[in-house]
């Protein structure tokens, strides 16, 4: 069966009007031959089915107070959910920024280590007995520091990835 909104609205208006005057007016529900449902305050000719329905009584003060309490509770829950969503969105944005910075730092550390593997001037000592040379301790200390920086960048990148996954 198809139902139209306009007749329902008219039904609501009729109920409100009847409830406001205090006079009980009959209300009819009609099923038309094409299946439409129509509400009216008088019988309609040509309806396939018609029946009288009673308007519900107006809500009591207790019912109104309960509805107001539920509305306030629902509003509080909605506000709490919106706050949680906003907080989650902020955590996700922060995690995305941290991950982007960690990715750049990791790329920079990898490049610095690659460049740092080439000895700098003064980090080689020649051999008195031949054309060979050996690397000084300064070279190994510098490369170890670059490797440590790379490991720290990897650790931060993994922590940032975990933080982003947890923020989801």
Number of other CB atoms surrounding residue 118 within 10 Å: 8
- Whether the predicted pLDDT of 146 surpasses 60: yes
Backbone angles phi and psi of 37, in degrees to 5: -105, 130
Residue-level pLDDT at 139 = 93
Enter the DSSP assignment of 133.
Answer: E
Residue-level pLDDT at 124 = 85
Q: What is the mean pLDDT of the chain?
A: 85
Residue-level pLDDT at 23 = 58
- Check if the beta carbon of residue 164 is closer than 8 Å to that of residue 99: yes
Residue 32 and residue 20: Cα distance in Å, rounded? 29
- Whether the predicted pLDDT of 150 surpasses 60: yes
Residue-level pLDDT at 155 = 97
Residue 146 and residue 70: Cα distance in Å, rounded? 62
Q: How far, in Å, are 117, 141, 143, 146 from residue 124 at the CA level? A: 13, 13, 14, 18
Residue-level pLDDT at 132 = 78
* Residues facing residue 133 across a β-bridge: 126
Q: How far, in Å, are 23, 58, 90 from residue 11 at the CA level? A: 16, 15, 47
Residue-level pLDDT at 55 = 78
Q: Can you tell me the mean pLDDT for 46-51?
A: 89
- 57-110 pLDDT, tens digit per residue, is 899 999 999 999 999 999 999 999 999 999 999 999 999 999 999 999 999 999
| Residue, of 8 and 71, whose pLDDT is higher | 71
Cβ-proximal residues to 49 (8 Å cutoff; 6+ apart), any chain: 30, 31
- Mean pLDDT is lowest, of 41-50, 57-66, 85-94, 120-129, for 120-129
- Whether the predicted pLDDT of 20 surpasses 70: no
Q: The pTM is what?
A: 0.54
Residue-level pLDDT at 54 = 84
| Residue, of 45 and 147, whose pLDDT is higher | 147
Residue 23 DSSP SS3: coil
| Residue, of 130 and 13, whose pLDDT is higher | 130
Q: Please report, for the chain, the start and end positions of each structural domain, with discontinuous segments joined by +.
A: 5-58, 83-167
């Amino acid at each position: 069966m198809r139902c139209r909104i306009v007749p329902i609205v008219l039904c609501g208006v009729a109920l409100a009007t009847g409830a406001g005057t205090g006079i009980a007016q009959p209300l009819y529900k009609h099923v038309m031959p094409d299946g439409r449902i129509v509400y009216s305050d008088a019988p309609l000719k040509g309806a396939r089915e018609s029946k009288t329905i009673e308007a519900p009584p107006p809500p009591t003060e207790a019912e109104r107070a309960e509805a107001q309490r539920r509305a306030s509770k629902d509003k509080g829950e909605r506000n709490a959910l919106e706050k949680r969503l906003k907080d989650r969105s902020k955590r996700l944005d922060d995690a995305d920024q941290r991950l982007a910075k960690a990715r750049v730092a990791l790329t920079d550390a990898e490049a610095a280590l690659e460049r740092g593997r080439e000895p700098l001037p003064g980090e080689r000592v020649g051999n008195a007995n031949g054309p060979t040379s050996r690397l000084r301790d300064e070279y190994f200390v510098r490369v170890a520091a670059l490797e440590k920086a790379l490991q720290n960048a990897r650790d931060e990148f993994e922590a940032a990835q975990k933080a982003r996954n947890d923020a989801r």
